[in-house]
Amino acid sequence: MTLSRPAEFDARVLVIAPHMDDESLGCGLLLATHPRNDQAHVLIVTDGSRSPDAPQPCASEARPLAAVREQEARDALAVLGVPASNIVMLGLPDGSLRGMGARLRAGLTSHIRRIAPQCVFVPFRYDRHPDHLAVNRTVCDAKRAGDIEAAVFEYFVYSQWRLLSTGDVRDYLPPESLHRLPPGTAGDLKRLALECHRSQTTCFYPGQRRPVLSPELLDRVCAEPEAFLAYDPAHDGRRGLARGRAWVPVAHVVEPVLKRWKDRLRQGAAP
Ligand SMILES: [Zn+2]
């Protein structure tokens, strides 16, 4: 585990967030502690319109969710010190990135080239959400092909896995490739930023049973270090794991199935 902050984290950086809130969950400390705010850029890829899911039967939507989430992200990034002029919202349909292929690659690489960051931050290769995986694979493929020069780092939105013995996928990565930023006083800013995402931290729809982001999750991510895996094209996929090379990819497939099953049970058990 590397606790020192790599010098390139203080250069021009670009955080690519598939949805509003990913930037605060995975990179809130990174952005809040950047020494030059004008060098911190954020690209939000989708319109965030599918989280939370509208309950069935659909209660009338009080406010357009995409517009609400856009403003929440702008408020959160203001807390983290990112200038409004450094925020780009691509507005692609939430949940659609996996099938976009070349269109997504063209969109992301053109923004990366225009901003010309020294580092690009993308979700972890074994993330749980298909949009997150699509962003990871698109940017890592472009890096491997030599289409982008920036160093690529993977950040963590979902790190807690029930099917791993330690419960945390970050424990399975090579310590020398994993950089951790301790929360310090910036943990408070990260929490304030996350609280701007009220559609995720509270129940947005009438009849919604639980917020998308639980209070327990918020407590944990604000108290623990943020981790970043340096992407090396020679150690792609499971070759980038320090241990669990056979099990982690299997658990990655099974874990979401278990979660859906558990969510369904909880929904059925709710009054
Ligand atoms: Zn997301």
pLDDT digits (tens, 9 = 90+) for 228-242: 999 999 999 999 999
| CA 81 to ligand 1 centroid distance, Å | 21
| CA 173 to ligand 1 centroid distance, Å | 22
Mean pLDDT, the chain, rounded, equals 92
pLDDT computed for residue 57 by the predictor: 56
| CA 98 to ligand 1 centroid distance, Å | 13
Q: What angle do CA 179, 140, 52 make, to 5 degrees?
A: 80
pLDDT tens readout for residues 40-88: 999 999 999 999 987 765 555 545 899 999 999 999 999 999 999 999 9
Identify the residue with better confidence: 20 or 260.
20
Tell me phi and psi for residue 107, to 5 degrees.
-65, -45
Q: Which residue has the tokens 């409004």?
A: 84
**Environment class of 3 (CB within 10 Å of its CB; exposed 0-12, middle 13-18, buried 19+):** exposed
**Rounded distance between C-alpha atoms, residue 81 and residue 238, angstroms:** 35
| CA 267 to ligand 1 centroid distance, Å | 22
| CA 231 to ligand 1 centroid distance, Å | 20
**Rounded distance between C-alpha atoms, residue 125 and residue 240, angstroms:** 10
| CA 115 to ligand 1 centroid distance, Å | 22
| CA 10 to ligand 1 centroid distance, Å | 24
pLDDT computed for residue 105 by the predictor: 96
- 9-23, 44-58, 79-93, 95-109: segment of lowest average pLDDT: 44-58
Confidence band, pLDDT 50/70/90 cuts, at residue 253: very high
Distance of CA 234 to the CA centre of its chain: 23
pLDDT at residue 98 tops 80 = yes
| CA 249 to ligand 1 centroid distance, Å | 20
| CA 34 to ligand 1 centroid distance, Å | 22
pLDDT computed for residue 270 by the predictor: 45
Over range 114-137, report the average pLDDT: 97
pLDDT computed for residue 262 by the predictor: 80
pLDDT computed for residue 209 by the predictor: 87
| CA 245 to ligand 1 centroid distance, Å | 25
Over range 177-198, report the average pLDDT: 96
SS (H, E, C) the chain: CECCCCHHHHCCEEEEECCCCHHHHHHHHHHHCCCCHHHEEEEEEECCCCCCCCCCCCCCCCCCHHHHHHHHHHHHHHHCCCCHHHEEEEEECCCCHHHCCHHHHHHHHHHHHHHCCCEEEEECCCCCCHHHHHHHHHHHHHHHCCCCCCEEEEECCCCECCCCCCCEHHHHCCHHHEEEECCCCHHHHHHHHHHHCHHHHCCCCCCCCCCCCCHHHHHHHHHCCEEEEECCHHHCHHHHCCCCCCHHHHHHHHHHHHHHHHHHHHHHHCC
For the four alpha carbons of 171, 225, 13 and 218, in that order, the dihedral sign comes to: positive
| CA 24 to ligand 1 centroid distance, Å | 10
Instruction: Return the closest-CA partner of residue 233 out of 132, 109, 142.
Output: 142
| CA 44 to ligand 1 centroid distance, Å | 10
| CA 113 to ligand 1 centroid distance, Å | 23
